[in-house]
Amino acid sequence: MLFRSAVTKAVADTGLVPVTVDGWTGLSASAWADPDALASLGRRGRARVSLISPFDSLIWDRPRTARLFGFTHRLEAYTPKPDRQHGYYVMPILANGRLIGRVDPKRVGKTLVARQVSLQEPYEEREVEWAASALVEAASWVGCERVQLERCSPAPLSAQLRAALARRAPDRPQIAEPSVVVVAPATTTTEG
């Protein structure tokens, strides 16, 4: 563990400035930021929507993830199936600089099966659109032509997400099964 004096000395030559973060206390209360990044706060830009690996450095430090994003993530692959909350290989959804939900994806042939999709409550319609965008993009990464939803939480999300996925494939024929949507070309950015 670095001593505060060593960190202060190391930070002195970086151009970073000390900042206060609401809710941070104790040793983890020390934080620094780039002045240019601080100046851009509040500006809206283009933000990527993506599924994040549970092994990504953004996620694996769970206390930091909870502190920064108010988001508790747990890899449930080693949790007995009846005790899992969100699924086996859960991938957080990163959208507009926030972690808005989770997907437990599985590839079955040319179909990306979203075994469970959960959004943080309360969620907004744009977050449903972002989740649909992340699913379509993930399907394209692994060579899938369809997205199939199995479970959604909360329950109303199911119909909303199906509709959002269908809007992403307006020129393609719908498959008879209502839980399967043909994937349109991936959209990699979305306006915040």
CA 29, 34, 38, 44 torsion: positive or negative?
negative
The 10s digit of each residue's pLDDT in 109-138 is: 999 999 999 999 999 999 999 999 999 999
pLDDT of residue 191: 41
pLDDT confidence of 34, banded at 50, 70, 90?
Answer: confident
Chain centroid, CA 31 distance in Å? 24
Does the model's pTM come out above 0.95?
Answer: no
Q: Which residue has the tokens 């649909």?
A: 132
**Quick one: DSSP state of residue 97?**
T
Burial classification of residue 77, based on how many CB atoms lie within 10 Å of its CB (0-12 exposed, 13-18 middle, 19 or more buried): exposed
Instruction: Enumerate the domain spans of the chain.
Output: 1-43, 44-186
CB 103 within 8 A of CB 135: yes
Q: For residue 50, which amino acid is it?
A: S
What is the model's pLDDT at position 170? 53
Average pLDDT over residues 146-164: 93
DSSP SS3 for 54: coil
Backbone angles phi, psi at 114, to 5 degrees: -90, 95
The three-state secondary structure class of 159 is helix
CATH pick for 44-186 out of 3.40.390, 3.50.40, 3.40.630, 2.40.240:
3.40.630
Mean pLDDT of 15-28: 76
Query: Considering only 80-89, 98-107, 140-149, 162-171, which range has the smallest mean pLDDT?
Result: 162-171
